[in-house]
Amino acid sequence: MNLEMRNISKSFSTNLVLDGVDFTLEGSEIKALLGENGAGKSTLMNILGGVIDANGGQIFLDGRSVSFSSPKDSLEAGIAFIHQELNLINDLAIYENLFIGREIRRRGRLLDHEAMIRATEEVFQRMDLDLDPRTMVRDLDASYKQIVEISRAMLMNARLVIMDEPTTSLTDPEIERVFAMMRTLSRQGVGIIFISHKLNEVMDICHSYTVLRDGRMVASGLVKDVTSSRLASFMVGHDVVEHTRTASEIGPLVLEGRGLGDGRHFSDISFCVHKGEVVGFTGLLGDGRSELFQAVFGAGRFTSGQLLLEGSEVHVKTTSQAVGLGIGYVPRNRKENGIVKDMTIFENGSLATMSSRRKGLFFMDEDRLEEEFQAQRRALRIKMDGEDDPITSLSGGNQQKVVLARWLSAQPRVLILDNPTQGVDVGAKEEIYEIILSLAQRGVAVVVLSSEAQEVMRVASRCYVMYHGRIMDCLSAGQMSEKEIMRLATGVEEQ
């Protein structure tokens, strides 16, 4: 099936997300759709999948103009969208998952299991797949779950499959299996749009590519005519921002990891952070950096390696123990992990220090907590009416500052910040960077985890780039560039 999307535009309120994007796919090719986070890939594919409406532009299928007002329309036209979060029910068999909502029934409304199993087997045959339709989905590994999603698309006679970062949570052999399936489908005339961050995978599996940046189509062509580092520079653009940060006074070693692994998300991680230093950790979705530092903070476990704090090995089993050791952690996803929505601004800002600031045996030293909170409120310039107002009355940036205040009051030796500027507007972002830098100047060892290369370059004097649970390299301030970070984060080896 030939697809042509012409001059597609989309804006959310005043924010232009897609600006006249053209996207084509011919016949049964495998096409990569590339771009950084926020480049507009998901929006474009959601328009094709009928999830959202475009503001302008046209879609042609085999030369005919079409418009989709719901995912059902799109599906009936032969387009299947496989989302990153798979849509399978673990406690049902494969064939039941395939037919969910469209069950084949006998007369008398009872389910016709045999017919459904037979139909599933036929699809599997077409896909060259040796799998028992009666297997429970729970018993499948991640790659087969992906494949079951694809077979559901085949069952509905999809001629074009959109796959949104299908390899994120897969191991290497599992990725190979999914790729083999994609090649089989392509041979049988099914077109595939492959959304990915991983350039080496794109080089391996795709025939052609389209790169989006800031809502525009910036490059398109055949994969055989391009190199992966060229793709990386398309993604970040040529105008790489000059890095202006000067290296700060660096003290003795504070936090060190030696060969750390958790047997799942990351392995063989060695790193070090010095007093007064801001160290960045970056990578793309699924690189394992969040899991790594949650384990450092006691909210996860290491299965191998050693963690050293000021030279002596520590085993952090609970988060309260981590706080006792002087480790602080500002989590990602403020809403889920950061704020306690039923509590006041003051309480949210004192959550980490409540138990250590005591008066007598039992009671909180409320005066001291109050004093400390007020000091942080002034230093961080938190805008609020009353400290006893609910935390939810504040803007995102101010909520994030309250979470920062929570940890600054605890005066940690090591402060880990995971995506510290997520959901924060530009002005507050810059303020948070200043806070991070001044912390380091006061002798705190700071670790900043971020998926934004620019953010890491703004604050960090050194940065580790992770890919698939491993550290690819450690870049010094002079070596850091968006292009280089993107190259390492997408798993491209030095050429």
Partner 1 sequence: MTDRLESIASARPVAWFTRQWSQRPLFSTLCALVVMIVLQTIALGFDQGSFLGWLSLWTRNWLNILRNNATIGIIALGMTFVIITGGIDLAVGSTLVAVGAVVMIFIDGSTTGLLTSLGITGAPAYVIGILVGIVVGLALGQVTGLLITVGKLPPFIATLGMMNICRSVTQQCMQTVNPSVPRGFTQIANLSVGGQMFMPIIYWLVIAFIMHYISRHTAFGRHVYAIGSNEKAAKLSGINTQAVKRTVYTIMGALVAIASVLQVSRIGSMDYANAGSGYEMDAIAAVIVGGTSMAGGKGTIAGTVLGVLIIAVVNNLLNLLGVPPFLREAFKGVIVIVAVLLQKKEKV
Considering beta carbons, is residue 226 or 316 the nearer one to partner 1?
A: 316
Task: Tell me if 314 sits within 8 A of 308, measured CB to CB.
Answer: yes
Residue 133 token pair: 């339709």
Q: How many residues bind partner 1 (CB under 8 A)?
A: 29
340 binds partner 1 (CB under 8 A): yes
Alpha helices per DSSP H over 49-135: 71-76, 94-98, 113-126
Task: Tell me if 35 sits within 8 A of 23, measured CB to CB.
Answer: no
Stretch that binds partner 1, among 33-41, 54-62, 91-99, 360-368 (CB under 8 A): 360-368
Output the CA angle 289-45-7, nearest 5 degrees: 125
Stretch that binds partner 1, among 70-78, 273-281, 320-328, 479-487 (CB under 8 A): 320-328
339 binds partner 1 (CB under 8 A): yes
342 binds partner 1 (CB under 8 A): yes
**Terminal CA-to-CA distance of the chain, rounded, Å?**
36
318 binds partner 1 (CB under 8 A): yes
Binding-site member from 341, 425, 454, 479 for partner 1 (CB under 8 A): 341
Give me the least distance between CB of 365 and partner 1, in Å please.
Answer: 10
Binding-site member from 329, 373, 433, 464 for partner 1 (CB under 8 A): 329
Q: Of 294-313, which residues contact partner 1 (CB under 8 A)? A: 297, 299
Q: State how far the Cα of 132 lies from the Cα of 368, in Å rounded to an integer.
A: 65
Binding-site member from 86, 354, 474, 477 for partner 1 (CB under 8 A): 354
For residue 9, the surrounding DSSP H or E stretch is strand 3-12
Binding-site member from 75, 181, 217, 352 for partner 1 (CB under 8 A): 352
Q: State how far the Cα of 256 lies from the Cα of 336, in Å rounded to an integer.
A: 29
Interacting residues of 12 by C-beta distance below 8 A, sequence separation 6+? none
Binding-site member from 93, 178, 351, 424 for partner 1 (CB under 8 A): 351
Residue found under tokens 């390492």: 488
Binding-site member from 21, 44, 322, 439 for partner 1 (CB under 8 A): 322
363 binds partner 1 (CB under 8 A): yes
Alpha helices per DSSP H over 127-227: 142-155, 172-187, 199-205
Residue 256 token pair: 């060190």
Binding-site member from 86, 119, 156, 364 for partner 1 (CB under 8 A): 364
Stretch that binds partner 1, among 66-74, 257-265, 339-347, 479-487 (CB under 8 A): 339-347
Amino acid at 41: K
Q: State how far the Cα of 296 lies from the Cα of 346, in Å rounded to an integer.
A: 27
47 binds partner 1 (CB under 8 A): no
SS3 38: coil
> Could you list the residues that contact partner 1 (CB under 8 A)?
297, 299, 318-320, 322-323, 329, 331, 336-343, 347, 351-352, 354-355, 358, 362-364, 366, 406, 410
